[in-house]
């Protein structure tokens, strides 16, 4: 009957030592993860953790189904991880089965299941997953060291240790099997179908040599196993536990809304300057990073050579956190002053790392540079791609809050932004009384002039860009034309409207944001609008998802959604178009797409109004920012190349004759880009409302 002698060629001493090693492994895991937990506990309060079932489902889906790992663009990396993960899991289960047979079933029940059909199936399955494990690891080695991806361009010693130990364990596992099969002349050797070819190769070698080699390999395998388990809590492998934990703990509204500073008037401390200013969940974020680099793939700052690299920010703060917790992490970046650069790169082992940095009072300036913090466009490309849901943007904004509200340290350009927002209720120098001037000629009514506001179908939230910027006033005019063509009864807030507060909030000025937001909420509440239509995704997101934090409850739609509704209801009749009439590439605005998952409505409008559109290579949740978000529209882009040019070049490289957008900030960035690249003659920038209005005219 097929089976194998458990503990063949393993001496009594070896068995005794093996269980000592088990204790050592447990001690290391217990110590390491306890130190991590104690470090997290130093953070501020977080919670409550609601919707437990949903959180659990998502954490399990990430861990076992690899839902966020295997997705378009990441098939290779996702399958690679799947192979390693399930290989590891099944080999672990296989070991438990052997222990169950040897230490419980045989001695306590005088029985055995580790034979016959069960044994055959067990061996076939374990060999399969062992092979999968090795294939996955080789795929990882190829990806890290031979694909020459920019995000892995430095040698990663932590990765080398992890992959090296895992590969060694996988290979010595099969070698052990082959040596035993060859030495014992096992008649059922062929069921070990992966190790079997090696067994055949060893045929003819003296059994005593095979036995001695088996003994040495067994010790090596066991010691490598111990090294791996001891290394887990101090390395990126900690993500085995911290990754799913982070998915479970994630902020459920982080997609759309920044955390509110409640009772802001009573606060004495704002944002994050020290590690202990983070809440404990945010501290857990830093330990969840597995350094896969997906956060970099669509990051506008990384891809245009700016200091901010989201992975590096997480890795470096995490390394500093681990160092403070008494754990030595993997590679970290050099201290800014030592490196002599702004911005970080992964470092080689001989370079200074954060593991040797003495304790600092504040992480801003020591571990994270101000340039990094101000470079972020808050586009959420990093958060969208992160398999374990690290929340980079809120972390960055928390540090901006500290710089702005506590230290008054922010880029010079923001002084003007904040002053204008305070004085004029808009980011520019225009008086608030001129906000509705663009609408005078069009005869658009302001809400204060409407006798019965309840009779209005929608309130059109114009936003600052479309109210004051000459180029974007054309977008507002086009939208008015569309609304009138569909016979929609609407009005604008006009002079009563102030900035939604988005740029202030993203720039870290939560105090100013709350003043602006409360003003708008009070004014809108006075009219109790049925629905609000916004053509600015930033306003749309703020009104829809962030004002509820201050007690508002408005029904807000983006103009692309509303136009689609009007077309679908037959209220807006557009003549049939084909792509030959003008091919526009569609650009996903971050605050519409990634923040609110409005991907289909603008595309549907493009289908109706332009006969289709050209899909850009980086689209939908993998879209590339225009560079304006996070109040970046009001700051100079001094570092690296221009983000808008990067995106425009992508659009120009298609056969499109222009780019269609659904955001006034994108319009402005691309118009500037088109002029700078000197392609105005052949490349147009249009809002989808303009495309619909053009279609109506034709």
- Closest distance of CB 684 from other proteins, Å: 53
The yes or no reply on residue 321 touching other proteins (CB under 8 A) is yes
Select 102 or 485, whichever has its Cβ closest to other proteins: 102
Contacts of 72 (CB under 8 A, 6+ apart): 622
Binding mask 347-366 for other proteins (x = CB under 8 A): ------------x-------
Task: Please list every residue from 35 through 94 that binds other proteins, using CB under 8 A.
Answer: 35, 38-39, 41-42
Q: Which helix (H) or strand (E) holds 532?
A: strand 532-534
CA atoms within 13 A on the CB side of 297: 20
Give 108-120 as a DSSP string: HHS---SSHHHHH
CA separation for the pair 378, 389 (Å, rounded): 15
- Rounded to the nearest 5°, which phi and psi values hold at 81? -70, -40
User: Could you check whether the bond before residue 48 is cis, i.e. omega within 30 degrees of 0?
Assistant: yes
Q: Which helix (H) or strand (E) holds 178?
A: helix 157-184
CA separation for the pair 181, 179 (Å, rounded): 6
Among 211, 226, 267, 324, binds other proteins (CB under 8 A): 324
- Closest distance of CB 41 from other proteins, Å: 8
Binding mask 190-229 for other proteins (x = CB under 8 A): ----------------------------------------
Among 326, 431, 575, 617, binds other proteins (CB under 8 A): 326
Select 16 or 454, whichever has its Cβ closest to other proteins: 16
> Of 16-24, 408-416, 574-582, 648-656, which segment contacts other proteins by CB under 8 A?
16-24
> Of 9-17, 86-94, 488-496, 514-522, which segment contacts other proteins by CB under 8 A?
9-17
Contact 139, 280 (CB under 8 A): no
- Closest distance of CB 28 from other proteins, Å: 6
Three-state DSSP class for residue 681? coil
Select 69 or 317, whichever has its Cβ closest to other proteins: 317
Q: Which helix (H) or strand (E) holds 127?
A: helix 116-145
The yes or no reply on residue 106 touching other proteins (CB under 8 A) is yes
> Of 20-28, 82-90, 198-206, 656-664, which segment contacts other proteins by CB under 8 A?
20-28
> Of 98-106, 187-195, 292-300, 392-400, which segment contacts other proteins by CB under 8 A?
98-106
CA separation for the pair 535, 687 (Å, rounded): 9
Select 30 or 575, whichever has its Cβ closest to other proteins: 30
- Closest distance of CB 327 from other proteins, Å: 10
Among 32, 271, 537, 629, binds other proteins (CB under 8 A): 32
The yes or no reply on residue 673 touching other proteins (CB under 8 A) is no
Select 281 or 645, whichever has its Cβ closest to other proteins: 281
Among 26, 121, 442, 653, binds other proteins (CB under 8 A): 26
CA separation for the pair 106, 94 (Å, rounded): 17
- Closest distance of CB 269 from other proteins, Å: 15
Among 2, 29, 155, 362, binds other proteins (CB under 8 A): 29
Contact 575, 695 (CB under 8 A): yes
Three-state DSSP class for residue 580? helix
> Of 26-34, 441-449, 507-515, 656-664, which segment contacts other proteins by CB under 8 A?
26-34
CA distances from 309 to 265, 296, 647 (A): 34, 7, 18
CA separation for the pair 327, 319 (Å, rounded): 9
> Of 76-84, 205-213, 318-326, 450-458, which segment contacts other proteins by CB under 8 A?
318-326
The yes or no reply on residue 24 touching other proteins (CB under 8 A) is yes
Select 324 or 445, whichever has its Cβ closest to other proteins: 324
Among 27, 124, 125, 262, binds other proteins (CB under 8 A): 27
The yes or no reply on residue 666 touching other proteins (CB under 8 A) is no
- Rounded to the nearest 5°, which phi and psi values hold at 586? -100, 130
CA separation for the pair 394, 190 (Å, rounded): 56
CA distances from 540 to 148, 334, 383, 444, 555 (A): 40, 40, 20, 21, 10
Closest CA to 463 of 296, 289, 591: 591
The yes or no reply on residue 97 touching other proteins (CB under 8 A) is no
Q: No. of H helices and E strands in the chain?
A: 28, 8
Three-state DSSP class for residue 687? strand
Select 195 or 228, whichever has its Cβ closest to other proteins: 228
Select 275 or 666, whichever has its Cβ closest to other proteins: 275
The yes or no reply on residue 111 touching other proteins (CB under 8 A) is no
The yes or no reply on residue 643 touching other proteins (CB under 8 A) is no
Select 39 or 492, whichever has its Cβ closest to other proteins: 39
Binding mask 270-289 for other proteins (x = CB under 8 A): ----xxx-------------
The yes or no reply on residue 232 touching other proteins (CB under 8 A) is no
Contact 688, 662 (CB under 8 A): yes
Q: Is 248 left (phi over 0), alpha (psi -120 to 50) or beta?
A: alpha
The yes or no reply on residue 20 touching other proteins (CB under 8 A) is yes
Among 51, 95, 96, 103, binds other proteins (CB under 8 A): 103
CA separation for the pair 532, 539 (Å, rounded): 11
CA separation for the pair 630, 517 (Å, rounded): 17
**Inter-helix orientation angle 75-99/116-145, to 10°:** 140
**Count of positions on this chain that bind other proteins (CB under 8 A):** 38
Contact 235, 165 (CB under 8 A): no
CA separation for the pair 543, 531 (Å, rounded): 11
CA separation for the pair 400, 374 (Å, rounded): 8
Select 28 or 574, whichever has its Cβ closest to other proteins: 28
The yes or no reply on residue 256 touching other proteins (CB under 8 A) is no
> Of 74-82, 101-109, 153-161, 397-405, which segment contacts other proteins by CB under 8 A?
101-109
> Of 99-107, 169-177, 287-295, 452-460, which segment contacts other proteins by CB under 8 A?
99-107
The yes or no reply on residue 102 touching other proteins (CB under 8 A) is yes
> Of 82-90, 139-147, 269-277, 498-506, which segment contacts other proteins by CB under 8 A?
269-277
Contacts of 611 (CB under 8 A, 6+ apart): 576, 577, 578, 579, 580, 581
Residues present in the chain in total: 698
- Closest distance of CB 22 from other proteins, Å: 5
Among 23, 45, 470, 569, binds other proteins (CB under 8 A): 23
Q: Is 138 exposed, middle or buried (0-12, 13-18, 19+ CB in 10 A)?
A: middle
Q: Is 82 exposed, middle or buried (0-12, 13-18, 19+ CB in 10 A)?
A: middle
The yes or no reply on residue 12 touching other proteins (CB under 8 A) is yes
Binding-site ranges for other proteins (CB under 8 A): 12-13, 15-16, 19-20, 22-32, 34-35, 38-39, 41-42, 99, 102-104, 106-108, 274-276, 321, 324-326, 359
């Amino acid at each position: 009957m097929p089976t194998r002698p458990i503990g063949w060629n393993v001496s009594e001493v070896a068995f005794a030592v093996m269980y000592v090693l088990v204790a050592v492994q447990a001690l290391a895991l217990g110590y390491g993860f306890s130190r991590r937990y104690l470090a997290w506990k130093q953070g501020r309060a977080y919670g409550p953790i609601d919707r437990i079932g949903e959180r659990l489902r998502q954490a399990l889906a990430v861990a076992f189904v690899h839902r966020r790992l295997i997705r378009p663009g990441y098939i290779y990396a996702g399958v690679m991880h799947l192979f390693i993960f399930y290989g590891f899991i099944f080999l672990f289960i296989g070991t438990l089965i052997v222990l169950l047979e040897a230490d419980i079933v045989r001695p306590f029940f005088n029985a055995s299941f580790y034979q016959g059909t069960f044994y055959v199936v067990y061996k076939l399955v374990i060999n399969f997953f062992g092979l999968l494990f090795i294939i996955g690891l080789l795929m990882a080695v190829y990806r890290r060291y031979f694909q020459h991806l920019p995000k892995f361009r430095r040698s990663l010693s932590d990765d080398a240790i992890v992959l090296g130990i895992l590969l060694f364990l996988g290979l010595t596992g099969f070698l052990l099997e082959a040596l035993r099969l060859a030495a014992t002349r096992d008649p059922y050797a062929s069921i070990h179908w992966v190790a079997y070819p090696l067994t055949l190769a060893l045929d003819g070698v003296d059994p005593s040599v095979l036995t001695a080699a088996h003994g040495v390999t067994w010790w090596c395998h066991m010691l490598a196993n111990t090294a791996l388990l001891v290394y887990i809590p101090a390395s990126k492998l900690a993500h085995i536990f911290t990754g799913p934990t982070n998915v479970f703990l994630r902020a459920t509204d982080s997609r759309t809304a920044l955390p509110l500073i409640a009772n802001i008037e009573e606060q004495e401390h704002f944002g994050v300057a020290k590690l202990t200013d983070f809440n404990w969940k945010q501290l857990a974020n830093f330990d969840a990073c597995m350094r896969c680099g997906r956060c970099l793939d669509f990051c506008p700052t990384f891809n245009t050579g700016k200091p901010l690299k989201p992975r590096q920010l997480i890795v470096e703060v995490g390394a500093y956190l681990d160092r403070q917790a008494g754990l030595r992490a993997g590679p970290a970046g050099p201290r800014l002053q030592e490196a002599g650069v702004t911005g970080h790169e992964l470092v080689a082992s001989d370079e200074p790392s954060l593991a040797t940095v003495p304790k600092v009072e504040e992480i801003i300036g020591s571990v994270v540079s101000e340039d990094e913090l101000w470079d972020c466009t808050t586009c959420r490309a990093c958060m969208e791609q992160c398999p374990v849901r690290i929340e980079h943007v809120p972390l960055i904004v928390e540090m901006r809050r500290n710089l702005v509200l506590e230290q008054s340290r922010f880029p010079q350009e923001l002084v003007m932004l904040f002053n204008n927002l305070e004085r004029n209720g808009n980011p520019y120098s225009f008086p608030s009384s001129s906000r509705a001037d663009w609408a005078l000629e069009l005869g658009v009514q302001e809400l204060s002039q409407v006798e019965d506001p309840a009779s209005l179908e929608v309130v059109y939230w114009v936003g600052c860009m479309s109210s004051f910027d000459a180029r974007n006033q054309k977008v507002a005019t086009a939208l008015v034309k569309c609304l009138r063509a569909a016979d929609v009864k609407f009005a604008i807030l006009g002079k009563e409207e102030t900035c939604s507060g988005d740029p202030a909030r993203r720039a870290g000025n939560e105090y100013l944001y709350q003043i602006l937001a409360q003003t708008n909420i009070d004014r809108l509440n006075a009219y109790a609008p049925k629905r609000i239509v916004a053509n600015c995704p930033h306003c749309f997101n703020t009104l829809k998802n962030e004002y509820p934090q201050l007690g508002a409850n408005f029904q807000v739609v983006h103009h692309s959604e509303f136009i689609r509704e009007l077309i679908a209801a037959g209220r807006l009749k557009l003549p049939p178009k084909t792509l030959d009439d003008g091919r526009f590439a569609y650009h996903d605005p971050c605050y519409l797409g990634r923040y609110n998952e409005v991907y289909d409505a603008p595309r549907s409008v493009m289908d109706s109004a332009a006969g289709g559109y050209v899909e850009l290579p980086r689209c939908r949740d993998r879209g590339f920012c225009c560079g304006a978000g996070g109040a970046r529209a009001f700051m100079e882009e001094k570092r690296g190349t221009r983000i808008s040019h990067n995106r425009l070049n992508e659009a120009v490289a298609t056969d499109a004759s222009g780019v269609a957008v659904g955001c006034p900030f994108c319009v402005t960035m691309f118009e500037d880009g088109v002029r700078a690249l000197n392609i105005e003659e052949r490349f147009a920038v249009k809002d989808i409302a303009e495309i619909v209005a053009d279609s109506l005219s034709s």
